[in-house]
Amino acid sequence: MANKTVVLSNYFLNGTANLTLLLLNPTNGNIGNGAGDTLTAGSNGLFSATVTENITGWWNVVVLDGATVLAEGGKVYFQSDSVGTYIVDDATHVVDAVLDEAYADHNIAGTIGKLLNTIRKSNLAIDGVVSNAITPTTLTFSSNVVATTSAYAHAVLLFVSGPLAGENSPIISYTSTNGVFVLEEPLTAAPSNGDEFVVIAGSHVHSVAEIAAAISITVAPATATSPEKIEGDEITVAVGDVSSIPLTTIS
């Protein structure tokens, strides 16, 4: 039977003496380390105990002060009955492991992980950084984004790092060669090599020029001089090649 050193951290128990470590079988709740092992308090909330029993696999961790449970919920894994140091995966470590898991692995129906993955898909954003393949301007720049030409036309591009962080503009065009973006609205300054941005792929906007070409509003009569509404004036709208369509008469 090998001496296995179990190490756990608990800020709230920092420095507490005379604590006992219990290892419980996660399947049946049986104790795996006899009456428990004494936890030695270290610094900064670290504790250690020596487990001599021949046990392997996952074990639930419980910390006792006499017969009182002070902490539970962590787990420790012994790959084999071998001498070594084994770190308890407490709640913090478990959360980190879950959040750092690849989002594609969160695919079990009805779980929060699946829900978050679905929300992520519906708000798809493409990460990119500005490159130096061409000299950037306030309207155009190259990037490391690889996609088919025109793939991101009419989406919105948002800078998330550098001096331009928070600035955004609709995309007029995207060219696969050098990942070149052309924006509709000028940025306040040219981006720099390495500035990070996201393309909000789920967005779709039309340029101001396209909107203006599709819809124009005129007020008749053209000889009206007052900026205020004039009784009898008729507002019409021209849509594409369709002739002016009267909408309403001001009264």
Domain check: are 9 and 39 in the same one?
Answer: yes
pLDDT in tens, 37-58: 999 998 888 899 999 999 999 9
pLDDT at 249: 47
Domain check: are 135 and 186 in the same one?
Answer: yes
Domain membership flag for residue 108 = no
Domain check: are 11 and 69 in the same one?
Answer: yes
Domain membership flag for residue 17 = yes
Total domains present in the chain: 3
Is the pLDDT confidence value at 212 over 50?
Answer: yes
Domain check: are 47 and 11 in the same one?
Answer: yes
- Note if the pTM is more than 0.95: no
Domain membership flag for residue 165 = yes
Mean pLDDT confidence for 143-147: 97
Residue span of the structural domain in which 136 resides? 125-200
Which residues, 6+ apart, have CB-to-CB distance to 194 below 8 Å? 129, 130, 162
Domain membership flag for residue 130 = yes
- What CATH number did the domain enclosing 48 receive? 2.60.40.10
pLDDT in tens, 2-21: 899 999 988 788 889 999 99
Please report, in angstroms and rounded to a whole number, the separation of the first and last CA atoms in the chain: 97
Distance CA 202, CA 199 (A): 9
Domain membership flag for residue 209 = no
Which residues, 6+ apart, have CB-to-CB distance to 141 below 8 Å? 130, 131, 134, 180, 181, 190, 191
pLDDT in tens, 65-110: 999 999 887 899 998 889 999 988 866 555 655 666 677 777 778 8
